[in-house]
């Protein structure tokens, strides 16, 4: 019998580790492991999904015109340059499928989001990782990592799991220094959390080699329904649309996202709470000897003295019903990524870390 094998690269993919949601034997668990919005989706998005239920026998829109128009209005973008996907993960996958194949390289940073590697391998391309500078994207390292085979360069700005970001001048320097055959992808999954930040729109509009990906999974609280989008030069969006399945985003997801992005009052509320409790959490943990870099997103990367302490604290938090994220797989063995929850969640985290640090184990 000959063995039937998949395409090269597929068997090198390690399964994506999603944030845990349960602890055996512990009730009243708070999940702070996936950077979800602690307040849930906008009530208007919930109502839109409920209203969509009676029409679920109908196929969804295949051009996503309603949602693309809403995105265009809210962000001041041309809807013709917007593509919607089943989460921004799908846009990342389209980019890799469209632009990278066997022999090509896909570049990202050492603490970069794991979907870049997975999608590069799925496309048969070679993932290439470069160093960061103290948990911050290093433009020089990325430029030095480019070769004549580099097709895609991914950075998340702000980045997950570090929470740090680089400024517009650095992003522009990266875009302008890439070889002519490479596309820069700005992953803006957390862009909404940065006040006044355009996520790179101005840089994209002035160039032909930069795109961005965005999501409804974080600030908009819609991770469960899978909707994200991309924005870039019309010719690149046209390429991605050719790969896209006609019904890749469900009818419920389309109406939920449109309602969520139009509910600006709710978005404001979530942003204010996040900013307030993120600062409080970071300060309280720092006072306990657990520092973190200033976070630009909805989580903090808490640093412990070593891997053993991080593991010990994670185990203690779990025993208290608090689920955070280990990030050794992101080359950060001494750290834990903690999503900024509501007031109660933040207070419970600080109390538990204090107890752990105080020797209650």
Ligand X SMILES: *Cc1c(COP(=O)(O)O)cnc(C)c1O
d(CA 183, CA 46): 37
Q: Evaluate the omega torsion of the peptide bond into residue 27 and state whether it is cis, within 30 degrees of 0.
A: no
Of the pair 189, 256, the CB lying nearest ligand X is at 189
Q: Evaluate the omega torsion of the peptide bond into residue 161 and state whether it is cis, within 30 degrees of 0.
A: yes
CB of 160 to ligand X, least distance (A): 4
Site for ligand X, rule CB under 6 A: 35, 87-89, 113, 156, 160, 187, 189, 215, 217-218, 223, 228
CB of 356 to ligand X, least distance (A): 26
HSE-up (13 A, CA, CB side) for residue 300: 26
Give the containing element (helix H, strand E) for 275.
helix 264-287
The residue number with the shortest CB distance to ligand X is 87
- Which has the closest alpha carbon to 9: 131, 105, 147? 105
d(CA 151, CA 137): 19
CB of 180 to ligand X, least distance (A): 26
Of the pair 127, 228, the CB lying nearest ligand X is at 228
C-alpha separations of 138 from 65, 294, 295 in Å: 37, 17, 17
Chain centre distance of CA 31? 17
Two structure tokens written together for 292: 């973190």
Of the pair 68, 218, the CB lying nearest ligand X is at 218
Of the pair 232, 348, the CB lying nearest ligand X is at 232
Of the pair 39, 316, the CB lying nearest ligand X is at 39
CB of 137 to ligand X, least distance (A): 12
d(CA 75, CA 321): 39
CB of 274 to ligand X, least distance (A): 15
Of the pair 138, 187, the CB lying nearest ligand X is at 187
CB of 63 to ligand X, least distance (A): 20
Two structure tokens written together for 94: 């389209």
């Amino acid at each position: 019998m000959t063995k039937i094998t998949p395409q090269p690269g597929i068997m090198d993919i390690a399964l994506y580790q999603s944030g845990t949601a349960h602890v055996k034997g512990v009730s009243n668990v708070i999940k702070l492991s996936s950077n979800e919005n602690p307040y849930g989706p906008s009530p208007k998005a919930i109502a839109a999904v409920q209203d969509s239920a009676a029409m679920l026998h109908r196929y969804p829109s295949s051009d996503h015109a309603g949602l693309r128009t809403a995105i265009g209005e809210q962000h001041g973008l041309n809807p013709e340059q917007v593509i919607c996907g089943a989460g921004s993960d799908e846009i990342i996958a389209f980019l890799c499928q469209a632009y990278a194949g066997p022999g090509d390289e896909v570049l990202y940073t050492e603490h970069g989001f794991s979907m870049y590697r997975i999608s590069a391998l799925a496309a048969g391309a070679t993932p290439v990782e470069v160093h960061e500078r103290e948990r911050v994207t290093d433009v020089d390292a990325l430029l030095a990592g480019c070769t004549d085979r580099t097709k895609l360069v991914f950075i998340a700005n702000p980045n997950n799991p570090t929470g740090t970001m680089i400024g517009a001048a650095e992003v522009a320097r990266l875009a302008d220094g890439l070889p002519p055959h490479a596309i820069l992808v700005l992953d803006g999954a957390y862009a909404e959390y940065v006040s006044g930040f355009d996520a790179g729109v101005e840089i994209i509009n002035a160039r032909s080699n930069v795109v961005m990906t965005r999501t409804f999974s974080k600030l908009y609280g819609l991770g469960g329904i899978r909707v994200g989008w991309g924005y870039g030069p019309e010719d690149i969006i046209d390429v991605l649309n050719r790969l896209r399945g006609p019904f890749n985003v469900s009818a419920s997801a389309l109406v939920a996202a449109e309602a969520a992005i139009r509910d600006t009052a709710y978005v404001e509320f979530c942003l204010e709470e996040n900013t307030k409790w993120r600062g409080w959490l970071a300060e309280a943990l720092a006072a306990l000897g657990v520092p973190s870099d200033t976070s630009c997103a909805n989580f903090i990367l808490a640093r412990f003295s070593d891997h053993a302490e991080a593991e010990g604290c994670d185990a203690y938090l779990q025993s208290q019903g608090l689920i955070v994220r280990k990030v050794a797989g992101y080359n950060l063995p001494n750290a834990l990524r903690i999503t900024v929850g509501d007031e109660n969640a933040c207070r419970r985290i600080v109390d538990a870390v204090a107890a752990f640090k105080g020797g209650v184990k």
